Structure 1
């Protein structure tokens, strides 16, 4: 199978037509099994899957161990052999039971699952700290002083960049502020506006607003929001491009490459090109794009971008962030002058921006590190870095292009399930009684793995969310009337979606009945 194959043709070749899916919502398991066997590429066994009992009982306070239930992934220090044996047994049990003892986890867009290697890597660094103390900076498989050198190249591959263009540190919002400190240079009589999508994640908006205020600008004038279409909830990309071409007061365009609410995937390459043609800096928030869709930040000439690692990069809640700066903004020494150079006074500096060869000489004269490292401030938290490395090593076993192919197949299968549910409900309640609509664009090139559905009745939406979670299906409720559902290519299966179809259609029918 080629990586550019139409996922619809692939599904149809195994009998998964829209009609078959719509007619068998309560019994798609055999078809799903055939698709999972044919697809082949899945790294589910590399992750700790939430036990069904933990979700259905609402037992969210006891990590790892559920009474009378197998251990999903032991976390107690000193139990490494037990953890290894348990995880190995889990893999065998999962193969036999077809994952029936596991919850259906379709919320990787909010928090990715824990890689099985995470505990091993973190425990090793805790043990090293206990045994050798400060000498851990220069010893072991992952010495702490150059720890970012293990993660940065892996992350660079995922975002389509050169290793020296990526740096793992801080969190997304902090890194976004750092990038604005460098690239947002408003001019009183010239370019000063920040263009963003109106439904931007709140932290992004607060960053934009505070950056405007730091420059003594009125946010109501400096921030230019792109409203979504009131009918579709997606942004008109052509209107954005026309705005970049005609409004000479725009300094920066900063978008979520993949919109967190609607699931709309923006054409980053095209937006960047038009921005540059018209003197605008192009920055991107990659929170919902990184690890989800293929990115080519270097080739697309993006100025800078920031990302988190707790969603599709599976590095844990509050995990370390990362950023990208294109190499054309680099210059040896980072002094003023020269094409594409970033003046030192336009960056916030810290000792980790100093070249590692002389960093510990503690001089007050900056010898800048190479590449994006020169934008860093302090040494990254080692335990957080190990969480990121554990996940990035899974990505390193495949490619974003192959994961994208799998993702498109899974998401199209989910799309057809949702369309089948809508058809089923219209037959029961009439065509005019549409219970929900799919907000995410239908065109596969304009979406990632997540689908958002918006209910006509917000109370019904909330009740459906609660009801299916009691049956072991974990998705995301967005007040007041939306659900977000994501089959993650690394660990979700067609079998997961078959179970979702059965439970979602049954609970919706029961709750929507007059």
Structure 2
């Protein structure tokens, strides 16, 4: 079966039906040869077995042995970088993009462009478009990143803003969208969110003078780790009249479950509930249509599947109806009306921002929710990472990811079948439509540390979550089917097969 046929089957909801020779290097390489976006791997610098052992900086980056790398880009910047080389120069297997994405080569070019601009023209970088630069003037960089993100999250650029970091943005948007009163004060969340989400929600409730024990509604799974859509809808029904906000993850970080965002959003909004989503593990991973799904707000980080670097500037979505700025009379003399928010100078309309007036006039759209001047250095990295996404589409990435993840699942099932007594359970949903590019493997007790050590020794990076879970994420931008096959051979060895 061709790669295209696998994609069509998985998108239609049918099982992939891998052939008997699927557990072979030749089969994996045949799928790679049909991959229309395989060239995107060359856009990234992946750690090697040698570089993973590095414990001191030496001016080298991972690459081919004994060569000098001269990365000449489409702009005039040429970066000459020493490439590390050793007998252990083989690229590692990077299956940890759900924690930190691999480094795009473009980041060095974009960051160096920002540094050269700063060194050359100083403060004028805020207002100067530099020829031969991949960057726009600094004050427009967040807007430029929003323009590059329309396909990423399924929204118009005016509904997207890059600012702050994920948890800060959750607080900023909950300050606007969580408005509890005596009737509606509850927040519906999941039982085991990423800790920062729990902290943010709990502290917002306390900030409003309420008791988290009374105002936090936690949805628990019926069994295992997956929360069914029906359980979410039943919880909404049980608390509809007293709930102010529903805030769930698009993809649950631990299990990898992809929630049914459109169905849950519509159901909650029909009952008068504001709906927000934490898309930290969904943005850049799965296809999203935030505008069409009528989501009120959403937040995401950019250092996982978007690959902008650790702690990079995060993104946020605000539906266009909430970003309106309206005037009752003459716009030059009347104060505008707009959705309440925690306001700051950089959320002010650029047309009047430098008037330095004390009347806040927000930028229409999501950009009006900014508070501070965003870091141009951070936005340079975000812009570079988004430039790689602009060479493909989320549909192409999702299509490849469906098959990559199904192939990994198939080979894992073979390992358990050969073992007789299973070594592990896959706790990520079996339905490809209900998961992203991640399989969470719950190992038998006591196996995690030994397996993690063997993987690391063989140049494999994936995420371990104690006590017994491995999270494996073959990201389609830079992962190959061959990587999946090789990972399984290393795992087999670690399990003694």
Equivalent in the alignment of 1:339: none
Equivalent in the alignment of 1:38: 34
Measure the CA separation in 1 of the matches of 2:443 and 2:246. 31
Give the alignment of 1:48-447 within 5 angstroms. 48-55=45-52, 57=53, 59=55, 64-65=60-61, 69=65, 81-83=78-80, 101-139=90-128, 140=130, 141=133, 142-188=136-182, 190-230=183-223, 232-247=224-239, 248-333=241-326, 346-426=340-420, 433-447=421-435
Secondary structure of 1:453 counterpart: strand
Higher helix share goes to which structure? 1
Equivalent in the alignment of 1:93: none
Measure the CA separation in 1 of the matches of 2:263 and 2:15. 32
Secondary structure of 2:437 counterpart: coil
Is the contact made by 1:50 and 1:102 (CA closer than 8 Å) also made in structure 2? yes
Measure the CA separation in 2 of the matches of 1:73 and 1:8. 40
How many angstroms does 1:236 deviate by? Answer: 2.1
Secondary structure of 1:272 counterpart: helix
Secondary structure of 2:149 counterpart: helix
Measure the CA separation in 2 of the matches of 1:283 and 1:201. 15
User: What value does the CA root-mean-square deviation take over the aligned residues?
Assistant: 2.9
After superposition, the Cα gap between the structure-2 partners of 1:301 and 1:436, relative to the gap in structure 1 and judged at 3 Å, is same
Is the contact made by 1:425 and 1:509 (CA closer than 8 Å) also made in structure 2? no
Secondary structure of 2:150 counterpart: helix
How many angstroms does 1:73 deviate by? Answer: 7.9
Is the contact made by 1:284 and 1:306 (CA closer than 8 Å) also made in structure 2? yes
TM superposition score normalised by structure 2 = 0.89
After superposition, the Cα gap between the structure-2 partners of 1:500 and 1:10, relative to the gap in structure 1 and judged at 3 Å, is farther
Measure the CA separation in 1 of the matches of 2:64 and 2:89. 16
How many angstroms does 1:86 deviate by? Answer: 6.2
Is the contact made by 1:53 and 1:69 (CA closer than 8 Å) also made in structure 2? no
Equivalent in the alignment of 2:460: 473
Which stretch of structure 1 is more off in the superposition, 433-442 or 299-308? 433-442
Match of 1:6 among 6, 9, 14: 9
Measure the CA separation in 2 of the matches of 1:449 and 1:306. 19
After superposition, the Cα gap between the structure-2 partners of 1:404 and 1:50, relative to the gap in structure 1 and judged at 3 Å, is same
How many angstroms does 1:65 deviate by? Answer: 3.8
What are the Cα deviations for residues 29-76 of structure 1, in whole angstroms up to 9, with x where unaligned? 211111100123221000111112122x3648667447995579899x
Equivalent in the alignment of 2:492: 505
How many angstroms does 1:476 deviate by? Answer: 0.7
Measure the CA separation in 2 of the matches of 1:71 and 1:357. 51
Is the contact made by 2:101 and 2:307 (CA closer than 8 Å) also made in structure 1? yes
After superposition, the Cα gap between the structure-2 partners of 1:64 and 1:218, relative to the gap in structure 1 and judged at 3 Å, is farther
Measure the CA separation in 2 of the matches of 1:450 and 1:49. 19
TM superposition score normalised by structure 1 = 0.86
How many angstroms does 1:195 deviate by? Answer: 0.7
After superposition, the Cα gap between the structure-2 partners of 1:70 and 1:238, relative to the gap in structure 1 and judged at 3 Å, is farther
Measure the CA separation in 2 of the matches of 1:72 and 1:418. 39
Is the contact made by 1:334 and 1:344 (CA closer than 8 Å) also made in structure 2? no
How many angstroms does 1:156 deviate by? Answer: 2.6
Measure the CA separation in 1 of the matches of 2:7 and 2:266. 24
Equivalent in the alignment of 1:29: 25
Measure the CA separation in 2 of the matches of 1:10 and 1:202. 33
Measure the CA separation in 1 of the matches of 2:257 and 2:148. 26
How many angstroms does 1:186 deviate by? Answer: 1.0
How many angstroms does 1:6 deviate by? Answer: 1.4
Equivalent in the alignment of 1:429: none
Higher relative contact order (CA 8 A, sep 6+): 1
Is the contact made by 1:156 and 1:162 (CA closer than 8 Å) also made in structure 2? yes
* Total equivalences in the alignment: 475
What are the Cα deviations for residues 301-348 of structure 1, in whole angstroms up to 9, with x where unaligned? 00000000000000000100010000111322489xxxxxx9658310
